[in-house]
Amino acid sequence: MATRTQPNIIITGTPGVGKTTHCEMLAQNTGLKHLSVNDVVKERECHEGWDEEFKSWIVDEDKLLDSIEDEVKEGGCIIDWHACDLFPKSWIDLVVVLRVGSEKLYDRLKARNYPEAKLQENLDSEIMEVLLQEARDSYDEEIVIELRSDTTEEMEANVERIEAWVKQWRKDNSNKSEES
């Protein structure tokens, strides 16, 4: 595989933690591509139909991976999704798990009119640190970071921190791409 000149980042966490907002800001500030898995699933039909109870698409993970593989292998993607364990380790340089307090999360999900079962499942997932553990189990410890996203100030600080990481990654990897 050719050496990538741009990093790939996963921004993950329970729905309502601010993934999309973080990704949009990072894409704007770094020039990386915001790859919203929800949009890919809908637009490229990487699903097996609609789940009426949870009001969401049933993702076909194989179709999804096939659909984004070439883009991600090129590098420069910020992957925005509530799961991370399906993406091959070789594709990913940084995994950011966003976290929010349960009261704040409840308010955000309620404002989205989530069905009660979906709301409760997501709250339980956040309280039990399911996505954080999934990231830690799926990727090397040194590339997984946990960041709080309860306030606008925390979100802005997170974006700055990730931007600094991108800048350092580019610097550290610029020689590698020249050598290939």
CA distance 11 to 136: 14
Q: Pick from 37, 31, 44, 40: which is nearest to 5 by CA?
A: 31
> Is residue 19 part of an annotated ligand binding site?
yes
> Is residue 75 part of an annotated ligand binding site?
no
Q: Pick from 67, 63, 74, 2: which is nearest to 32 by CA?
A: 74
> Is residue 101 part of an annotated ligand binding site?
no
> Is residue 16 part of an annotated ligand binding site?
yes
> Is residue 73 part of an annotated ligand binding site?
no
Asked whether the beta carbons of 13 and 80 are under 8 A apart, the reply is no
CA distance 117 to 26: 32
CA distance 104 to 106: 5
Using alpha carbons only, give the angle 2, 36, 99 rounded to the nearest 5 degrees. Answer: 105
> Is residue 136 part of an annotated ligand binding site?
no
- Residues annotated as binding site? 16, 18-21, 112
- Residues annotated as binding site for ATP? 16, 18-21, 112
